[in-house]
A and B are shown apart, each in its own frame.
Chain A
Amino acid sequence: MMKKLKILSILLLSTIVFFSCEQYEQDDYQEYVVVEGYMTAGERLPDIYVSSTLPANSEYSFENSAISNATVLVSRLDDDGNPEEVFEYAELIDQPGVYFPLVQSYRVKPLTQYQLDVVFNNRPEEIRAVTTVPDQVEVINDIPESVVYQSENQLEIVLDRIQQTSDGQNVFVFNSISLDPAIENLTPFYLSVVEDDEDIDINEYVRNSSGLINEGNFEPQPDGTVLLRFPWIGVAFYGDNLVVTLSVDKNLADVIRSQEVQLGGSTLSPGEIPNLLYNIDGGIGVFGSMTADTIRTSFARPFE
């Protein structure tokens, strides 16, 4: 009996030791090319930023990671995905890693596909990404000159009917840009945040955004237009503000929604860090597009 127990124990121990051997080892840092560019309908072709990743524990600045001497091209694609018009880029002399379009007169078109290609003389990577510019958003209602903050009358914005792209429903972002960004103009919530945390600068709220909002959140009106009420949380400063309505493409939506949960806030366990959804071949970053319309109003203090 004792002999059998011994054999059983040895067998058990051997099994545990065998299966304990690490078969899923931590890999090492690998450098990737990072591209960043945002096409906006109706505007000139964007600058493209080209850099590389740095080790996680190193000091980061774009200047330290910029990649010079890249060949950057943006192409407008036809319906079959073939380049129809090619735009060359050149590197800014005083800003290494930043590439500007040689043709400044071209305006980005909505509902059009564009392709980014980046290649290097001294690196093997070949970067390619494609974006489909969303349909143009347009605010079609009259905007009041002034709205009393947290009053019953919220700022209402009516968007003209908008076509969906092949990527599915449209994704919106609402961005308020303060034209009077002073600490005495901060609304109560943002004022308390700034007062409580010395590290927070009021400039962080000058451009205050709603985050990504699916079109499905809004009930379309019978005529196909979309009515939305600008939430008070979007108002960081009293006074004059620009309110920008953005419709963003899948690439931009993917990278932002994955970036926002990379370090928590989703169903992922604490410490479980995923890579982002980049939609870029050969590298990382974002080559996204959007359309935008801007209105202007003033948010007045209550009882003012």
Chain B
Amino acid sequence: MNRFLLLFIILLFTQTALFAQSNGSINGYITDSQTGETLIAANIALLETNRGTSSNTSGYYSITNIEPGTYTLIATFIGYQRFEREISLSEGENLRLNIELVPEGIQLQELVVESTAEREEQRNIGRAQVSTELIKEVPSIIEPDVFRSVQLLPGVKAASDFSSGLYIRGGGPDQTLILLDETTVYNPSHFFGFFSTFNPDAVKDVRLYKGGYPAEYGGRLGSVLTVFNKDGNRNETTGTVSLGLLASRASVEGPYSRGSWMLAVRRSTLEPVLAVLRQSVDTVPDKFYFYDINGKINFDATDDDRFSLALYSGNDSVSLPFQEDAQIRLNYGNQTISGKWRRILSDRLFGSATVTGSRYFNQPGFEIGGTPFESDNKIYDFSLKSDLEYLINDRNTLSAGIWSGILTLKYADRFDNQSTFTNRIQSTYLSAYLQNEWRPSDRWKINGGIRLNSFSEGNFHRLEPRFSIEHRPFSNLRIQTAYGRYYQYLTLITNEAFSGFDIWLTSDDGVPPSFGDQFVLGFKTIPFDGYGFDVEFYFRTMRDLFELDPFVSDAAGLDYTDLFRFGEGYAYGIELFLEKQRGRFTGFMGYTFGITQRKFPGFNTEILDNPERGRFYPPKYDRKHDANIVATYQISDRWSFSTVFNFASGQPYTEPLGRTQLNGVPWGSAERDIFTVGKVNASRLPSYHRLDFSFSREGRFFNLGDAEWQFQVINAYSRRNIWFYNYDFDENPVERQDVQLLPIIPSISYTVNF
């Protein structure tokens, strides 16, 4: 491991003469002229040579091997004016050109230049992007939410109205790696899963790799969601304040002599609502709030060196007395910190080194009848990562990186003031990747890579090949395919209904890592100007899945392997995505047909069968058909309208078939009712559909800044979708009750930008 580190540090810090040449090059950062924010995946090209590139996640671009001469450099990005400048390069010249793109106002929309490269980047195989504008525009419950917006994409499902968890291509929430400024976030939720921790005021870029993701990422079986926070405005100090009924937020950002900074805070404002409820309802929390703080500071040390420090801290806290002498308390949250150094090593070599720290904790506690139960679970993840991007020549871009860290998980349970369970798992992990993008011609793009990873707990070492090919037979059609193998050393212990108690467990001796293969085939077309139509097929396997055995009621004294059930699964599906990209009326329609299945020996067996057998069954979040329509219409300069309609076929549930009772259990006073079931999750709930809409009106706030009213209605026709069925054994025969999802919810918010 140390040799790997040394190699990369040497590579990172060494300016080498290997790259010297007679031809010239041009490189630099591409930013927003108003805010100075770096722009990711902007398109940069030399008009005369038909050569171009796009900026990386640091906003850096580089075009090399340019013959001496005079060229027209153009840069484009969605929503920005086209940049065009004549440049002259002499022999061997390395021209540093930082480009500032001027954003277009909405009133000039017809003049906005489209960036084909960025559109294509967003539509690479298995990839999707959610703009921060969309996150804020679409109707949302309580707060605009990154995850709720991501759930609108084909291939991504929501478990319920109450869950912001991401169920992507048949995988559960723990199969998606979530990175905030390159730092792993272990429980990205507020309100116990109702919405995500990411503050839309602070977020700059959200990218989802749904599947078949490249070798630069790893650690999860399914997908990767990367969220980058804003760097902060490099030109002027600006801010925004948004007041909502249940939560409010404020942010401020600005420049200083050597860079920029950003601070965004958000807090629930439930206290007045709770105070009103206490007048008429007994069981109202004493305390119920969440907050999060995002901060970032950038330091431009030299033309070649940029440093940034990003911080996040979020916390949810509730205290609820529910009977005389009985109380439940829960405190959970995340903190992350990342320090990044970006360095332009040469015109061909760009590097970055990042130090990350992530902490997740949850501290649930009950006190009932004088008996306390307390739990204190923590995760600490400290890591160092380094990435290099090397332009070998016009046709090849080589990337390499290393990510190493120490993961510590601590668990402690106390019952009746006595320690009943403590455990500490500490593992070092290391992964390294190497990948090359080869563009043999304008019609072909081939990306091959390999990722090596190791996990010290259990002494596992695994190799993950990744591969993707893109062929462009016509200018408006791209055919893409990808394959990858993925390993996962962690499993999430959670409940779909409530994520405040989430804990993670790791692989270990006797608990091998899960692994799976993914195959993806995609067709990306431009049927008409301004439209995009994509089709993707996927198939993936999941092997050696390890999950907490649902029948383990008490972990004390059990061997680590006895905590788990081990199984397998698979998923396949088709995703269709039609997007209208320009004009007053924009939006998209997404449709997913998906199947996902799991099998765990001893679960879903026939009652009289060998208990070690098991049948495949669909998990609760499986929906065969899932369609979303998202539309935004700019009514006038001041008014806009947006709507979301979702239709999904019913989720599976288990139909109780028979019943009996145990009447003689020698403790307790009541008989115990038992259902017998056949196949688990073989019945389907009624179809789910919901319409949300919102109107926004822009204006001014006492000439101090721009302001926006947002009026929205969630579940406009109050469809009472069913979450699950509950069974009341107090009635004989048993009574089945519908547990419903959200009713109609109107809300209003007011935002001021100054």
Q: Does B associate with A?
A: yes
Give me the interface of A with B, judged by CB distance under 8 Å. Answer: 8, 12, 15-16, 19-20, 24-32, 34, 36-38, 40, 49, 51-62, 65, 149-150, 154, 169, 173, 175, 187-193, 196, 199, 203-209, 211-217, 229, 231-235, 244, 246, 252, 254-263, 266-278, 281-286, 290, 292
A268 touches B657 (CB 8 A): no
B554 touches A34 (CB 8 A): no
Chain B residues whose CB sits within 8 angstroms of the CB of A235 once the complex forms: 369
**Contact partner, B658, options A25, A29, A278, Cβ 8 Å:** A29
B662 touches A32 (CB 8 A): no
Q: How far is it, in angstroms, between the C-alpha of A268 and the C-alpha of B726 when the chains are bound?
A: 14
A206 touches B669 (CB 8 A): yes
Give me the interface of B with A, judged by CB distance under 8 Å. Answer: 159, 282, 323-326, 368-371, 415-416, 418, 420-421, 493-497, 523, 535, 547-548, 550-558, 572, 574, 576, 593, 595, 603-605, 607-608, 611, 616-621, 624-625, 651-670, 672-683, 685, 723-727, 730, 732-734, 739
Chain B residues whose CB sits within 8 angstroms of the CB of A206 once the complex forms: 669
Taking the closest CB of chain A, its distance from the CB of B662, in whole angstroms, is 6
Chain B residues whose CB sits within 8 angstroms of the CB of A189 once the complex forms: 323-326, 368-370
A282 touches B608 (CB 8 A): yes
User: Most chain-B Cβ atoms within 10 A of its Cβ — which of A8, A12, A208, A268?
Assistant: A268
Taking the closest CB of chain B, its distance from the CB of A187, in whole angstroms, is 6
Chain A residues whose CB sits within 8 angstroms of the CB of B595 once the complex forms: 19
Q: How far is it, in angstroms, between the C-alpha of A269 and the C-alpha of B496 when the chains are bound?
A: 6
Taking the closest CB of chain B, its distance from the CB of A73, in whole angstroms, is 19
Chain B residues whose CB sits within 8 angstroms of the CB of A51 once the complex forms: 660
Taking the closest CB of chain B, its distance from the CB of A279, in whole angstroms, is 8
B551 touches A258 (CB 8 A): yes
Chain B residues whose CB sits within 8 angstroms of the CB of A213 once the complex forms: 554, 556
**Contact partner, B667, options A173, A192, A275, Cβ 8 Å:** A173
Taking the closest CB of chain A, its distance from the CB of B31, in whole angstroms, is 40
Q: How far is it, in angstroms, between the C-alpha of A37 and the C-alpha of B663 when the chains are bound?
A: 10
Q: How far is it, in angstroms, between the C-alpha of A286 and the C-alpha of B663 when the chains are bound?
A: 11
Q: How far is it, in angstroms, between the C-alpha of A270 and the C-alpha of B737 when the chains are bound?
A: 13
Q: How far is it, in angstroms, between the C-alpha of A269 and the C-alpha of B604 when the chains are bound?
A: 14
Chain A residues whose CB sits within 8 angstroms of the CB of B497 once the complex forms: 269-270
A54 touches B603 (CB 8 A): no
| Total A-B Cβ pairs within 8 A | 271
Secondary structure type dominating chain A contacts: mixed
A62 touches B661 (CB 8 A): yes
Q: How far is it, in angstroms, between the C-alpha of A233 and the C-alpha of B415 when the chains are bound?
A: 11
Given contacts A26-B682, A217-B420, contact A56 B604 (CB under 8 A): no
B668 touches A209 (CB 8 A): yes
Chain B residues whose CB sits within 8 angstroms of the CB of A231 once the complex forms: 371, 415-416
Q: How far is it, in angstroms, between the C-alpha of A49 and the C-alpha of B574 when the chains are bound?
A: 53
B659 touches A54 (CB 8 A): yes
Can you report 15 A-B residue pairs in the complex whose CB atoms are below 8 A from each other? A19-B593, A29-B657, A54-B658, A57-B733, A189-B370, A212-B554, A213-B556, A214-B555, A260-B553, A269-B497, A271-B723, A275-B605, A277-B551, A282-B608, A284-B674
Chain A residues whose CB sits within 8 angstroms of the CB of B672 once the complex forms: 256, 259
Given contacts A28-B657, A49-B663, A211-B553, contact A275 B676 (CB under 8 A): yes
Given contacts A271-B724, A272-B681, contact A60 B660 (CB under 8 A): yes
A233 touches B368 (CB 8 A): yes
Q: How far is it, in angstroms, between the C-alpha of A282 and the C-alpha of B535 when the chains are bound?
A: 50
Given contacts A188-B369, A272-B654, A285-B662, contact A267 B494 (CB under 8 A): yes
A30 touches B324 (CB 8 A): no
Taking the closest CB of chain A, its distance from the CB of B524, in whole angstroms, is 13
Q: How far is it, in angstroms, between the C-alpha of A15 and the C-alpha of B674 when the chains are bound?
A: 41
Chain B residues whose CB sits within 8 angstroms of the CB of A60 once the complex forms: 659-661, 673, 732-733
Q: Which residue of B lies closest to A211 (CB)?
A: B553
B558 touches A216 (CB 8 A): yes
Given contacts A209-B668, A233-B371, A257-B553, contact A275 B679 (CB under 8 A): no
B653 touches A272 (CB 8 A): yes
A190 touches B658 (CB 8 A): no
Taking the closest CB of chain A, its distance from the CB of B41, in whole angstroms, is 28
B657 touches A274 (CB 8 A): no
A275 touches B550 (CB 8 A): no
**Contact partner, A204, options B608, B654, B669, Cβ 8 Å:** B669
**Contact partner, A56, options B324, B659, B680, Cβ 8 Å:** B659
Taking the closest CB of chain B, its distance from the CB of A119, in whole angstroms, is 15
Q: How far is it, in angstroms, between the C-alpha of A286 and the C-alpha of B660 when the chains are bound?
A: 12
A274 touches B680 (CB 8 A): yes
Q: How far is it, in angstroms, between the C-alpha of A36 and the C-alpha of B661 when the chains are bound?
A: 9
A273 touches B662 (CB 8 A): no
For the A-B complex with A192-B325, A273-B675 known, give 20 more contacts whose Cβ atoms are closer than 8 Å. Answer: A19-B593, A24-B618, A53-B659, A54-B658, A56-B676, A149-B370, A150-B370, A175-B668, A188-B369, A196-B323, A205-B669, A206-B669, A214-B556, A216-B554, A217-B421, A267-B547, A274-B654, A276-B674, A277-B551, A292-B666
Given contacts A244-B667, A267-B493, contact A187 B369 (CB under 8 A): yes
Chain A residues whose CB sits within 8 angstroms of the CB of B726 once the complex forms: 263
Taking the closest CB of chain B, its distance from the CB of A74, in whole angstroms, is 15
Q: Which residue of B lies closest to A230 (CB)?
A: B416
Chain A residues whose CB sits within 8 angstroms of the CB of B670 once the complex forms: 204
Q: How far is it, in angstroms, between the C-alpha of A140 and the C-alpha of B513 when the chains are bound?
A: 47
Q: Which residue of B lies closest to A262 (CB)?
A: B675
Task: In the A-B complex, list the 5 residue pairs whose CB atoms are closest, starting with the nearest.
Answer: A216-B557, A269-B620, A192-B324, A271-B724, A232-B370
Chain A residues whose CB sits within 8 angstroms of the CB of B661 once the complex forms: 60, 62
Q: How far is it, in angstroms, between the C-alpha of A57 and the C-alpha of B617 when the chains are bound?
A: 24
Q: How far is it, in angstroms, between the C-alpha of A28 and the C-alpha of B678 when the chains are bound?
A: 7
**Contact partner, A259, options B611, B674, B727, Cβ 8 Å:** B674
B323 touches A192 (CB 8 A): yes
Q: How far is it, in angstroms, between the C-alpha of A48 and the C-alpha of B622 when the chains are bound?
A: 42
A269 touches B621 (CB 8 A): yes
**Contact partner, B556, options A53, A192, A216, Cβ 8 Å:** A216
Chain A residues whose CB sits within 8 angstroms of the CB of B593 once the complex forms: 16, 19-20
Taking the closest CB of chain B, its distance from the CB of A48, in whole angstroms, is 10
Chain B residues whose CB sits within 8 angstroms of the CB of A16 once the complex forms: 574, 593
Q: Which residue of B lies closest to A15 (CB)?
A: B574
B607 touches A284 (CB 8 A): yes
Chain B residues whose CB sits within 8 angstroms of the CB of A31 once the complex forms: 658
Q: How far is it, in angstroms, between the C-alpha of A58 and the C-alpha of B676 when the chains are bound?
A: 13
Chain A residues whose CB sits within 8 angstroms of the CB of B607 once the complex forms: 30, 32, 275, 278, 284
User: Most chain-A Cβ atoms within 10 A of its Cβ — which of B282, B324, B558, B625?
Assistant: B324
Chain A residues whose CB sits within 8 angstroms of the CB of B653 once the complex forms: 271-273
Q: How far is it, in angstroms, between the C-alpha of A272 and the C-alpha of B618 when the chains are bound?
A: 10
Q: Which residue of B lies closest to A292 (CB)?
A: B666
**Contact partner, A214, options B496, B558, B668, Cβ 8 Å:** B558
Q: How far is it, in angstroms, between the C-alpha of A54 and the C-alpha of B685 when the chains are bound?
A: 24
Q: How far is it, in angstroms, between the C-alpha of A31 and the C-alpha of B620 when the chains are bound?
A: 26
Q: How far is it, in angstroms, between the C-alpha of A217 and the C-alpha of B416 when the chains are bound?
A: 12
A55 touches B657 (CB 8 A): yes
Q: How far is it, in angstroms, between the C-alpha of A98 and the C-alpha of B523 when the chains are bound?
A: 68
Taking the closest CB of chain A, its distance from the CB of B652, in whole angstroms, is 8
Q: How far is it, in angstroms, between the C-alpha of A254 and the C-alpha of B651 when the chains are bound?
A: 29
Taking the closest CB of chain A, its distance from the CB of B677, in whole angstroms, is 5
Q: Which residue of A lies closest to B668 (CB)?
A: A209
A273 touches B535 (CB 8 A): no
Chain A residues whose CB sits within 8 angstroms of the CB of B734 once the complex forms: 56-57
Chain A residues whose CB sits within 8 angstroms of the CB of B618 once the complex forms: 24
Given contacts A58-B733, A257-B553, contact A229 B496 (CB under 8 A): no
Q: How far is it, in angstroms, between the C-alpha of A20 and the C-alpha of B622 when the chains are bound?
A: 13
Chain B residues whose CB sits within 8 angstroms of the CB of A209 once the complex forms: 667-668
Given contacts A62-B661, A196-B323, A276-B674, contact A270 B732 (CB under 8 A): no
B660 touches A53 (CB 8 A): yes
Q: How far is it, in angstroms, between the C-alpha of A267 and the C-alpha of B545 when the chains are bound?
A: 15
Taking the closest CB of chain B, its distance from the CB of A47, in whole angstroms, is 8
Q: How far is it, in angstroms, between the C-alpha of A156 and the C-alpha of B682 when the chains are bound?
A: 49
Chain A residues whose CB sits within 8 angstroms of the CB of B523 once the complex forms: 8
